[in-house]
Amino acid sequence: MYRYLAWTGVAAVLCLVPFYLDGFWLQTGLFAMSAAIGAIGINLLTGATGQLSMGHAFFLAVGAYSYVFFSAEPTARLSGLGLPTGVAAVLAVVVAGVAGGLFSPIAGRLKGAYLGIATFALIFGGQHVLFNAEHLTGGFNGRAVPELNLFGFSFGDTPELIVLQVPFGTLERLWFLGLVLVALSMVFAQGVLKGRPGRAMNTIRDHEIAAGVMGVPVARYRAGVFVLSSMYGGLAGVLLALVFQRTVPEYFGVLLSLDYLAMIVIGGLGSVGGAVVGALFVSLLPQLLTKYSDSIPLVAAPGTPGGVSPAEAARILYGAAVVTVVLFLPGGLLGLIKKIRLRPPRLRLPLSPPSPSPETRSPHVP
Amino acid sequence: MTTFVELLVNGISIGAVYALIALGFVIIFKATEVVNFAHASLLLAGGYLVARLWPLVGFWAALLIGVAAAALVAAAIEFLVIRRANVASHSVLAIVTIGVDIVITTELTRQIGTDVLAMGDPWGSQVVQFGGVTLAETRIVALVTAAALITAFLLAFKYTGWGVAMRAAAEDAETAALMGVRLGRVSMSAWAVAGGLAAVAALFLCVFPTPGLDRSTSLVALKAFPAAILGGLDSTTGALVGGLIIGVTESMMSGYQNDMAFLGRGIGDVAPFLVMLVILLIRPAGLFGTKELARV
């Protein structure tokens, strides 16, 4: 009961955010939402199945660029299909999944860190294509992203829309779309993890041979989870492109992939909540440091010489956070939250009459 | 034909440098079963110290300090982080090294900024002619040094007490410990050796014809990862062969990239990763890696 109340409360607060906070925070929040979707995907792969992937940024790029390619009207220099934007968004996620599927001969056979290094190839190969296939990707300068338009409702600045005296521009409208997408992603991933596939994935991670013996098709599961995780990456990429309104190849590099791994370790490996918490931490930290750089010692405002810039400070902090979490907080931030919440589970022992057997007490134990 | 020979020799030389990095990577994996993604940052640390110190103490002393410092940093990572992490899965340890890598690389690239640091090496931009084939002196030194270091390491691995302890620990850690091998020391020394090798490699990655050490050097070092994995992560021979394959491929693809314009600019930087994929498709454990067999 409390759970549902808590969730309703969270949802209500999140829905009120666009009415009170300005564009900077909305954009930051949307980045965090996109990161959350991507992180859920990679947590299914790395956290739940034990397969390391350095190539997550590649699938974000596939999602973002496919959306632009499918939805943009062709011009003399850039090609596009001019499909309805809603269809383009769905196709982009499918294309990301297909890209993951094409990698399955490798994703199914390699395990753990081996796969991690192999997926470096996706990043470098992908960036090579992004820079060189100029008629598709716009090359170094990237491409403008068409606004999303769902069933006649535009997620852009026009037509003007005012809700409760707050002008609803691109960011305000996307905010609600982002919330829905994050919620759906969470529910779906939770379903996967709680059900039969989730148990199979965890068994593969914990003991590959045992999983095989119990009848789990290990290679097929590995490939399947890889596809699922790349579709999550593609969705995150689409949302990211809509928020950015421009896709540039440089963004989708090794650093972005490392960010995603940092997120799931910091948040908590193998759980949906962990991915979301980690995504919030890693994407909000640099923005918070930028905003309040004046009042934090050692961090200089961006552009000033000397001192650590907020972006660098954030990277160092969450790099250190990864190490700290693994050393001292197995289970990540989510594990920490749970531990605090569950602390002293006091057993109320009945004083009289003395309990005949331990079984009768068990309903009191949480 | 001369171009071909030049590209081949240059490729072998740069491949030998990649082999140095990959060898360190393999040593760490054998000794502690950790895939060390912080390797690029060790390399950057060594190279950075050499570049900063040579104007003060001279090149050779700076190189010595750089190698020692990289070895020390590596040993410190092993002692402070890897040894203390109590995790079930080795994938998590790999991610920890990513955390370490993020910290060290961010700080070093901040120090480097937009500078391109010269390494102050005595070879400069001199070239040597061998019957029409022009080779940079640095490339020859790199090849000789890498070959000497690799030979020395392999001999030590085979014949010294340290090498025997290391191989025993890699074979069966528990039995080795019961036989009196101090596992802590073995893994720490493995990390230190790997760090030292990475620092030497950093020197040769940053001398002529490359302009010098800059913030992208750690990305160059990433090419040693495919070298290690296509040879097989647990095979020293594999690291050597892998390094050479990657070096020659890169050199050839960059050298002839005008003939392969359809592949796009900068294909030389991507080729190593593509070669790795092809080899992994055919042999998932790498060329010389032991296939994992399990008896149920």
- Cβ-based contacts of A309 with chain B (< 8 Å): 110
Chain A residues 217-276 within an 8 A CB cutoff of chain B = 254, 258, 261-262, 265, 269
Would you list the domain boundaries of chain A?
Answer: 18-253
**Tens digit of each residue's pLDDT (9 = 90 or more) over A270-326:** 888 888 888 988 888 888 887 776 666 666 655 555 567 777 888 888 888 888 888
Nearest to B96 among A50, A133, A326 (CB): A326
Q: CB A258 to CB B98 under 8 A?
A: yes
pLDDT, one tens digit per residue, over A210-253 is 888 888 888 888 888 999 999 999 999 999 988 888 888 888 88
Measured distance CA(A345)–CA(A349) in Å, rounded: 12
* % residues pLDDT > 70 (chain A): 86
pLDDT tens for the 296 residues of chain B, in order: 778 888 888 888 888 888 888 888 888 888 888 888 888 899 999 989 988 888 888 888 888 999 999 999 999 998 988 888 776 667 778 888 888 988 998 888 888 878 888 887 777 777 888 777 778 888 888 888 888 988 898 898 889 988 888 888 888 888 888 988 888 888 899 999 999 999 998 888 888 777 778 877 877 778 888 888 888 888 888 888 888 998 888 888 887 777 776 777 777 778 888 888 888 888 888 888 777 666 65
**Hey, are the CB atoms on B88 and A206 less than 8 Å from each other?**
yes
Helix residue ranges per DSSP H, chain B: 2-32, 39-57, 59-77, 90-112, 137-159, 161-171, 173-178, 183-206, 217-221, 224-231, 236-255, 267-282
Structurally, chain B folds into a number of domains equal to 1
Separation CA A226–CA A137 (nearest Å)? 25
Q: Which of these, B192, B141, B263, lies nearest to B28 by C-alpha position?
A: B192
Going by the DSSP 8-state scheme, the letter that residue A163 receives in this structure is E
Nearest to A319 by CA among B225, B109, B197, B191: B109
Structural domain containing residue B33: 2-224
Best A104, A109, A117, A264 residue to mutate vs chain B (most B CBs within 10 Å): A117
Q: How far is A351 from chain B (nearest CA, A)?
A: 41
Residue B267, in any domain of the structure: no
Which segments within A80-152 are labelled E, that is strand?
143-144, 149-150
In this complex, the residue of B100, B226, B274 whose CB is nearest that of residue A117 is B226
CB spacing of B99 vs A265 below 8 angstroms: yes
Q: Is residue B22 part of a domain?
A: yes
* Partners of residue A44 in chain B, C-beta under 8 Å: none
- Give per-residue pLDDT as tens, A319-366: 888 888 888 877 778 878 877 776 665 556 555 555 455 444 444 444
| A320 has a chain B CB within 8 A of its CB | yes
Please report whether residue B144 resides in a domain.
Answer: yes
Contact B91 A112 (CB under 8 A): yes
For A153, phi and psi rounded to 5 degrees?
Answer: -100, 120
Distance CA B286, CA B274 (A): 14
The region that residue B118 occupies, defined by phi over 0 for left and psi between -120 and 50 for alpha, beta otherwise, is beta
A186 in contact with B at a CB cutoff of 8 Å? no
Note whether A329 contacts B: Cβ–Cβ < 8 A.
no
Question: Would you say the ipTM is above 0.85?
Answer: no
Contacts A316 to B, Cβ<8 Å: 102-103, 106-107
Establish if A114 touches chain B: CB-CB under 8 angstroms.
yes
Look at residue B178 and tell me if it is in a domain: yes
Q: What is the largest CA-CA distance in chain A?
A: 88
CA distances from A260 to A107, A349, B49 (A): 18, 46, 30
Closest in B99, B222, B228 to A323, CB measured: B99
Answer whether residue B234 is part of any domain: no
- Is B283 inside any structural domain? no
